[in-house]
Structure 1
């Protein structure tokens, strides 16, 4: 799977730009603010329908511009698929594949998988459970449509149940039959979500451990623990047990929407006992494991985006990483760096056919 070209109009700091890419290794170099990460994010948009860095689509529109367009051509074997994403301020985003607009953006997920390794990944360790659930769900949803449908339905019922709990509290009333309607829906979808996540963690942990050993050596052991109230109880039991608390706090206090991942080092929470270097190695291993999981599930090699990788690792380990991902096991790769000479030397040494795109402003 190869992104052969990319065209941007008013996408973040690119007013208008076109690029042609190598099918294997692409290095984007230039000073900070040159638009290197913007290109990676545009690739992510075309693969996942949304930005990696912004939850609000309009943040991708260049300042003072009325719209953005990102389009490119994805090739799988001899088949080429034109992709288009456009957004006008105040309007609905338009996403097309083969010139046909999707009725639901979720239909695009999994067609063209992508994995991003970014300095922002540290949020997976430091932020709350929602960040880790989103990470896990984004991987599962690309290969499991039943999971994605269940997640959408569950969240819809959850929003309605929480609104009803607030209504009861505001009006000092309670109607168990009204609540039961949403409880039944939550009980229908919760096991699908929980089981898919539990299966994901069981399959994923050995992949993570494999890449962490490559990153850090044999002397350290890492793991992932899956925390869920549904491990020991059914959703029906959880809702019944938590109802008194839910009525007080006015929201649903347990269920798949509260599940979490705990990253561990030697059996202890990574955030508490892991050094900065260990945490960086863990995050790179985590994303390489995502690549493996998607490749096996979809029978496609995801595009791999390595943003500012020198921020995470020393030069020797970066070179080792580039050599690793340049192997046949991996597919198309994009990396960014602020030091053109360093990166050009490294990628050309690893792969003579690598393409280096220098985004530095042309000096007069």
Structure 2
């Protein structure tokens, strides 16, 4: 799949933009704060109906405007899609696919698949569990629309249960209501754990193979699902365990004022040659493991939807050494790639037959080959 055309109106620093994209490599070159990441952000928005930088749509709207508009023509193997998003400061966002109004975000998920790799993703190994849970959730939201619904419901019930836990000391009668929420939490939680377990099995297999190639067989990568309730068995057993915990250990949760067990406490353990990479891995090993995980995302989506997703590389190349850059670029021949960098010197190693280079300056975009003709895509 690939984005053929992107249109933006009053989006971030773009008043009006219509941009034709190459189905191969698209390189956006410019200094910081010129609008490069705004382009990739709008493309990422197509997949999850959200930004990877903020949870508030209002921040995507040009500062002096009330509305923003994103439109993209997407080419897929089985069909073409026109996706439209109208963002407003005053109303709920409006979504259309091929001119048909979509009322639920879950109905859009999976139409476009996007994998993004940014400097923040290099923290995937060495930072806290929240980074790794977000990595898992973002992937599953794209390939399992029911997962997105279950995750939303789980987080909603979790918040309600936590609020009740804090109130039970002063209102003991709320304990009965908390038990009702415990049943719902166990139901949604067991679904999430089951989906994560299946996903991590695939992730571990693919990432291991990719990591072997990057390290020329010198390192063995292992990805382990660190389920907060212990070793995962199956959905039914997980539901029983969660419900038993939520009921029998409620006093412990009341004392702490939070729910101590469940998918919101899950993590990944990432090992290289048997050692925990977060604790014992060098910075180079941690970055290689992160790269293996992100490239595994691409392959998992390919196995699920039978075509490659769109890949975004946002200012990440300068963070990788030449060996990792080479491996990454050689892996992208069949993938539409949107790449940002700060200097023309950064693109000398990109030997792609099918590529376009765009210069970004103050929200204006021009093709490198057309600079002398002053062909401006946006002004």
Give the distance between the partners of 1:111 and 1:79, measured in 2 at CA.
10
Partner of 1:356: 357
Instruction: Find the counterpart in structure 2 of residue 322 from structure 1.
Output: 329
Q: Which residue of structure 2 lines up, in the alignment, with residue 251 of structure 1?
A: 258
The offset of 1:290, in angstroms, is 0.5
- Is the 2:95–2:103 Cα contact (8 Å) retained in structure 1? no
Aligned counterpart, 2:243: 236
Contact 1:211 1:285 in 2 (8 A): yes
Unaligned runs of 5+ in 2: 232-237, 363-370, 375-379
In 2, the alpha carbon distance for the partners of 1:14 and 1:264 equals 43
The alignment partner of 1:34 has SS state of: coil
What is the CA distance between 1:342 and its match in structure 2?
4.0
Give the distance between the partners of 2:223 and 2:84, measured in 1 at CA: 37
* Aligned-residue offset at 1:43: 0.5
Q: Counterpart of 2:296 in 1: which secondary structure?
A: helix
2:110 counterpart SS class: coil
Offset at residue 78 of structure 1 (A): 7.1
Shift in CA distance, 27/254, structure 1 to aligned 2, threshold 3 Å: same
Corresponding residue of 1:199: 198
User: Per the alignment, do residues 243 and 88 of structure 1 end up closer, same or farther by CA in structure 2, a change over 3 Å counting?
Assistant: same
**2:214–2:327 Cα contact (<8 Å) kept:** no
Taking the aligned partners of 2:78 and 2:164, their CA distance within structure 1 comes to 53
**Structure 1: which 5+ runs fail to align?**
none
Question: Does the alignment pair 1:346 with 2:353?
Answer: no
RMSD: 2.3
* Alignment of 1:220 onto 2:215: no
Equivalent residue in structure 1 for 2:338, among 316, 334, 359: 334
Worse-matched range after superposition: 219-228 or 230-239: 230-239
SS in structure 2 opposite 1:68? Answer: strand
Q: Is the 8 A contact 2:179 2:247 kept in 1?
A: no
Cα distance, 1:175 vs structure 2: 5.0
Partner deviation per Cα, 1:78-98 (whole Å, 9 max, x = no partner): 732111122122432222211
Matches of 1:92 and 1:118, distance apart in 2: 29
Q: Is the alpha carbon distance of 1:34 and 1:177 closer, same or farther for their aligned partners in structure 2, counting shifts above 3 Å?
A: closer
**Residues 219-253 of structure 1, C-alpha deviation per residue, up to 9 Å, x if partnerless?**
22222222223345611222234312111122211
Separation in 2, partners of 1:22, 1:142: 23
Higher mean C-alpha displacement, 334-343 vs 21-30: 334-343
**Structure 1 Cα separation of the partners of residues 308 and 200 of structure 2:** 21
Distance (Å, rounded) in 1 between the aligned partners of 2:249 and 2:78: 55
Contact 2:164-2:175 at 8 Å conserved across structures:
no
Q: Distance in 2 between matches of 1:78 and 1:159?
A: 41
The answer (yes or no) to whether the contact 1:187–1:235 under 8 Å persists in 2 is yes
Q: SS where residue 70 of structure 1 aligns?
A: strand
Q: Identify the residue that residue 72 of structure 2 maps to in structure 1.
A: 72
Secondary structure at 1:125 match in 2: coil
Length, aligned pairs only: 357
Any residues of structure 2 matched to 1:1-364 within 5 Å, and which?
1-77=1-77, 79-171=79-171, 173-174=172-173, 176-232=175-231, 234-326=241-333, 330-343=334-347, 345-347=348-350, 349=351, 351-360=352-361
Aligned in 2, Cα 1:174/1:265: closer, same or farther, shift over 3 Å?
Answer: farther
In the aligned structure 2, how far is the partner of 1:176 from the partner of 1:50? 36
Compute the displacement of 1:130 (Å). Answer: 2.5
Change in Cα spacing, 1:64 to 1:269, as seen in structure 2 (3 Å) is farther
TM-score norm. by structure 1 comes to 0.90
Structure 1 residues 125 and 170: CA distance shift in structure 2, 3 A? farther
